[in-house]
Chains A and B, each alone.
Chain A
């Protein structure tokens, strides 16, 4: 693909006048262009298929699998893998295969929530700050800095007891959002700062467009490339962070379950009951690996600066 092509697609506006670089008519072809470029990234394509399978496993699997993820008195205690229970069973008498599906589902829910909420909040915040510049920018970014200073793992751990009635997936997700939107805000602000100086924005301003319109109709869509990449990678980060939190005892708590929680519960079982330790761990690795490759593919497809390098 040519360097020119990719530039037109994302960052720079068309050279002539106030035409919107992203418009309804152009959307389809643009997505097609991106898709075509994405498809060329073989690892990303394989990853996309694999991730699709994992998502189906997590969300559709429980609908067809005969066992639930909770204790069932018909399930033997501590049994190794068998045809009936492919990943074996726990001491309590739960089917690890069903638990893995449920755990993957909860982990993905946490990760998607974190990615979507912090991207929406962070992108808006960063775009507004970057658009207004000056004092507004300074104050807004200092507020974001407050959340950047506090390591996420620390924040979640310290707030732990405050979550009354047990730590469920959405409680964990919301706290993680609170401390990850600022990263996105910073990235988007940087992009917007350079975008706002470009002609199509100046033209929109000259044509009398209001600030909100410029931010949401012009700036954000044009910063979509870096935002989408950041959001994608955030999913992987969130899965890992949730797992790390579970490990030090501050993540999702039973009866809710997640992949991280499963590995945590099985931390002493690596050699004695490997069926408890490996499936959730391998699934975490697979989710993160595929998402990283997809992110890489998206970067190639969306980000011209990167594409310049990776020809």
Chain B
């Protein structure tokens, strides 16, 4: 297993590198990050523009820039991924890419964790119920809800959910749900309970928005694998032997049927990255999604690259973990 993991990682590194080259090229070709600077009124002097080009390494060729970004050799000490430097942001020195990225991770991780837990829990529940009551009204309803959630654009859904939250606030006369941001400004004065309520109030609506797509996909998956197991010989055997239905479902069927879901969900984390970009825009969270959008708007090459390396690594790790989990959970699979 260790050898397998090491080998997989060794293969992943060149893939990640190639992906970074590709994105670096795309970002570089997508335009001049200093065009806003040149557009300013009154226009800055040539000298200031030249200094900016040097500061952001825009006076170097593309291969040189990539080399600098990766190694930092020949740079001004503020660049070089291998040295732990993310490079200068074209938005100026106040924007420290490394620092901003870690702040964003902290914000986003809350949202993503909540969404994954909620989506998994609900998916298992509705998948199992659907499978147990196959072709019942309940099954059809759950199936339809799943399909509907899969068919909704995230931003459209988000707008509707936000309205739902507002409607709740107005009808109950409370201020439980918040529609923008991850927390209120004044968290330092709050007691633990107030802080919890504030966080929860901010978290609920975006979590629902983010989890629905994953929930829909996963519940379909769970239903299928549950049906498969319920129709398998050994479950039939258990039933024939007179094991009570509840025990069959919980001990025999569910446990086996969870295996595919675990792997699918691990890989599905990747899909959530895209959802995060949109959800964070609707609810104005200052997380990874916002980080990315603003980086693209500013054509901030090094910020986009850092973001990509993070999400790329996450994808590679998720795939690896999925494969390993599959092996751990299903002893029939052996790794060469």
**Which of B46-54, B151-159, B170-178, B202-210 lies at the interface with chain A?**
B151-159
B6-38 interface code vs A (CB 8 A; 1 in, 0 out): 000001101110110011001101110000000
Is B274 a contact partner of A153 (Cβ separation < 8 A)?
Answer: yes
Question: Is A229 close to B, CB under 8 A?
Answer: no
Is A244 a contact partner of B224 (Cβ separation < 8 A)?
Answer: no
B197-236 interface code vs A (CB 8 A; 1 in, 0 out): 0000000000000000000000000001001100100000
Is B15 a contact partner of A149 (Cβ separation < 8 A)?
Answer: yes
Question: Is A152 close to B, CB under 8 A?
Answer: yes
Residue count of chain B within 8 Å CB distance of chain A: 46
Question: Is A285 close to B, CB under 8 A?
Answer: yes
Is B156 a contact partner of A292 (Cβ separation < 8 A)?
Answer: no
- Which of B23, B281, B299 interacts with A248 by CB under 8 Å? B281
Query: Chain A residues with Cβ under 8 A from B154's Cβ?
Result: 240, 244
Residue of A nearest to B29 (CB): A162
Question: Is B277 close to A, CB under 8 A?
Answer: yes
Is B155 a contact partner of A285 (Cβ separation < 8 A)?
Answer: no
- Give the docked Cα–Cα distance between A160 and B63 (Å): 21
- Give the docked Cα–Cα distance between A138 and B22 (Å): 20
Query: Chain A residues with Cβ under 8 A from B231's Cβ?
Result: 308-309
Given A158-B26, A161-B299, A248-B281, do A146 and B15 touch, yes or no (CB 8 Å)? Answer: yes
Residue of B nearest to A305 (CB): B228
Question: Is A236 close to B, CB under 8 A?
Answer: yes
A148-162 interface code vs B (CB 8 A; 1 in, 0 out): 111111110111111
Chain B interface SS verdict (over half): helix
Chain A interface SS verdict (over half): helix
CB interface residues, A 126-146, toward B, < 8 Å: 138, 142-143, 145-146
Is A263 a contact partner of B153 (Cβ separation < 8 A)?
Answer: yes
Query: Chain A residues with Cβ under 8 A from B31's Cβ?
Result: 161-162
B258-279 interface code vs A (CB 8 A; 1 in, 0 out): 0000000000001001100110
Is B316 a contact partner of A247 (Cβ separation < 8 A)?
Answer: no
Distance in Å: Cβ of A53 to nearest Cβ of chain B: 16
Is A149 a contact partner of B316 (Cβ separation < 8 A)?
Answer: yes
- Give the docked Cα–Cα distance between A27 and B16 (Å): 44
Is B16 a contact partner of A309 (Cβ separation < 8 A)?
Answer: no
Is A247 a contact partner of B281 (Cβ separation < 8 A)?
Answer: yes
Is B312 a contact partner of A240 (Cβ separation < 8 A)?
Answer: no
Q: Could you name 17 residue pairs across A and B whose Cβ atoms are closer than 8 Å?
A: A142-B11, A149-B16, A150-B23, A150-B308, A151-B273, A151-B274, A155-B23, A160-B30, A161-B31, A236-B151, A240-B151, A240-B153, A243-B156, A288-B152, A293-B147, A309-B228, A309-B231
Chain B residues in contact with chain A, CB under 8 A? 11-12, 14-16, 18-19, 22-23, 26-27, 29-31, 147-148, 150-156, 159, 163, 224, 227-228, 231, 270, 273-274, 277-278, 281, 292-293, 296, 299, 304, 307-308, 311-312, 315-316
Chain A residues in contact with chain B, CB under 8 A? 138, 142-143, 145-155, 157-162, 236, 240, 243-244, 247-248, 250, 260, 263-264, 267, 270, 281, 284-289, 292-293, 296, 306, 308-310
| Among all A-B residue pairs, the 9 with the closest Cβ atoms | A288-B151, A161-B31, A161-B30, A289-B151, A243-B153, A247-B155, A162-B30, A149-B19, A309-B227
